[in-house]
């Protein structure tokens, strides 16, 4: 007589993995990748000649992230 329960032997139903087709994920993956590139631009290159927004507000706002990711700064 064994007191150890094995998966699938109990009355609790096992969760069934949900299959998500690549066709449904692809637009979201592209959107997230695009957002990541924009965020990476603002963290890493939004300064000086490559600046899209005048002033230092964006640079100062993401300054710590800039140093954390190893972008040259000052
Ligand atoms: Zn810096």
Q: What integer pLDDT is reported at residue 11 of this predicted model?
A: 75
Overall average pLDDT of the 65-70 stretch? 90
Contact 66, 73 (CB under 8 A): yes
Q: What is the pLDDT of residues 4-52, one digit of tens each?
A: 555 555 678 999 999 989 999 999 999 999 999 999 888 888 877 777 8
Q: What integer pLDDT is reported at residue 73 of this predicted model?
A: 81
Ligand 1 ion: Cβ-proximal residues, 5 Å cutoff? 73-74
Give the DSSP letter string of 8-34.
TSSSSPPPPPPP--HHHHHHHHHHHHH
Ligand 1 centroid to Cα of residue 62, in Å, is 9
Q: What integer pLDDT is reported at residue 30 of this predicted model?
A: 97
Ligand 1 centroid to Cα of residue 74, in Å, is 5
CA nearest to 39, candidates 67, 65, 70, 68: 65
Sequence ranges of the domains in the chain: 22-68
Give the Cβ contact number of residue 62 at 10 Å. Answer: 19
């Amino acid at each position: 007589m064994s007191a150890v329960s094995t998966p699938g032997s109990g009355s609790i139903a096992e969760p069934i993995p949900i299959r998500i087709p690549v066709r449904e994920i692809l637009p979201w993956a592209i959107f997230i990748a695009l957002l990541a590139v924009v965020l990476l631009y603002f963290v890493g290159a939004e300064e000086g000649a490559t600046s899209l927004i005048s002033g230092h507000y964006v640079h100062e706002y993401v300054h710590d992230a800039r140093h954390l990711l190893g972008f040259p700064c000052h």
